Structure 1
Amino acid sequence: MSEKNYEVQRTEAEWRAILAPAEYQVLRQAGTERPGIGEYTDTTTPGVYSCRACGAELFRSETKFESHCGWPSFYAPLAEDRVEYIEDTSLGMRRVEVRCARCGSHLGHVFEGEGYDTPTDQRYCINSISMRLAQD
């Protein structure tokens, strides 16, 4: 993870103590859950999606759309200061990693120019395990 000073900081041992192993692997080690298995992949429940690690509000259900990619997709974060962007050149390609700006946890990636009929032409491809949904 980044050396940046985040509002919410914990040691790796503290993160391991509060997160389940699968949550830790995605949130703190930038892993990816398998496509199509996440609890929020197909949900249409109104509410706010928050970071599972620190509780920061990240996305609203109104910006969630069906992209058929196997992960929850949003066209915009709740506010730009809620997420941070990191260039990711792993896997032999250029991608933009999306992290929680409050604790630095990995959420997923954002892609542009894929042609989805959304206001931003962006797809925030976010791991379900990185979030919790609070219903409106």
Structure 2
Amino acid sequence: MAAHLTNFEIYGGEPGQLVEFYAALFGWRIEKTPGIDYWRIEVGADAPALATGGLTHPPGFGSHGWLPFVQVSSCADALATAERLGGTVLKERTAVPRVAWHGVIADPAGNRFLVWEPDPTAFPPPEPD
């Protein structure tokens, strides 16, 4: 059976409090569904399908389960904005050599996700002597 990812949900004890965080951080349009405690997230009509993934050992910041990746135009800006909005940076901006920059954020409810900035020139800074 072939399968592909189609949706995602973000969880929190007070999900309505996460609306401003994600709307401000990623520009997502988020609206409450009438009559139920559910908010629909529209990431954009031109958003690429969730088509790739990976399988690896758990990262050092204690994540279990799945870690969603969100592509951004600037990893550094996303990390700074997330902190300003009440999120926590779990992994600072790090290079995947010649591929991208990435960092890991926890939203105010503790949900973890990775921000990904493609960059074929990304390279870690030299180690100090």
TM, length-normalised to structure 1: 0.29
Bigger Rg, structure 1 or 2: 2
Q: Which has the higher strand share?
A: 1
- Larger RCO, structures 1/2 (Cα 8 Å, 6+ apart): 1
